[in-house]
Amino acid sequence: MKEGKRSAPVFNDARSKKVVVVAHCVLNQNARIDTCATAPAVFPKILEALVERQIGILQYPCPELGFLGMGRQGQDCASWDGSYQHESGEVYDQMTVPEGREYLSGLAENLVYQIKEYKKYGFKVLGVLGILASPTCGVGLKYYKGLDEADGAFIEELKKAFDEAGLDLPIRGLNDLEPDENVALIRELDS
Ligand code: SF4
């Protein structure tokens, strides 16, 4: 080894070595399905809480946009009771066709790889923040013919990938309508 060179990276620089995984639309509401954006661009309180606590943001790509595109339909955020039926059918069903499952498991596996890399080098990965009631990123609550107390399609695949990789991280859902609860959740994960 030449003098002055290290054999492995140590990351003892300005970084906090703290990261949280967040659903894409937390920082980009433009990606949401038609009718379902609840802010112009970002959720400011979440962003402020993360910046204040020096938590790096691992924003995963929007699975619905990546697989179904911007013109996807199937859900109307004005009616949560299941009364709205679009001819395309439920978003959850569109995301869980075999090709959709394959796409989602690929995204999940890549996230697992990144998380394992962070952990390998001693970074703290606080957890994953999905979106309550999303048919895709919902955690314990998704939209499927009304509100359904189950995970969305991507979270199902992510949990499977975590289990296979032996990763045990908190996976929690943010609530569009409860900014203070979201901030409390970030505090809890960072405590
Ligand atoms: S909840 Fe998930 S699928 Fe829906 S817009 Fe956000 S990132 Fe995309």
- pLDDT exceeds cutoff 60 at 1: no
Vertex 117 angle, CA 184 and 186, to 5°: 5
> Which protein residue has the closest C-alpha to ligand 1 atom 6?
25
> Which protein residue has the closest C-alpha to ligand 1 atom 3?
64
How high is the pLDDT of residue 85? 84
- pLDDT exceeds cutoff 80 at 2: no
Which secondary structure element, helix H or strand E, spans residue 177, and what is its range?
A: none
How high is the pLDDT of residue 3? 61
d(CA 150, CA 135): 9
> 103-136, pLDDT tens digit by residue?
999 999 999 999 999 999 999 999 999 999 999 9
The per-residue b/e assignment along 107-134, b for 16 or more CB within 10 angstroms, e otherwise, is: bbeebbeebeebeeeebebbbbbbbbbb
| Ligand 1 contact via 131 beta carbon (within 6 Å) | yes
Three-state DSSP at 1 gives: coil
> 33-58, pLDDT tens digit by residue?
999 999 999 999 999 999 999 999 99
Report H helices in 39-97.
44-52, 63-68, 91-95
What would the DSSP string read from start to end of 95-126? HTSHHHHHHHHHHHHHHHHHHHHHHHTT-EEE
Amino acid at 7: S
Percent of the chain with pLDDT over 70: 98
Ligand 1 centroid, distance to 136 Cα (angstroms): 7
Ligand 1 centroid, distance to 53 Cα (angstroms): 24
Residues in the chain: 191
d(CA 75, CA 160): 26
> pLDDT-based confidence at 6, cuts 50/70/90?
confident
Angle at which helices 179-189 and 44-52 pack, to 10 degrees?
20
Give me the sign of the Cα torsion angle 9, 27, 189, 191.
positive
Q: Give mean pLDDT, residues 60-80.
A: 94
Contact criterion met (CB below 8 Å) for 142 and 134: yes
d(CA 187, CA 182): 9
Ligand 1 centroid, distance to 49 Cα (angstroms): 20
Ligand 1 centroid, distance to 14 Cα (angstroms): 31
| Ligand 1 contact via 137 beta carbon (within 6 Å) | yes
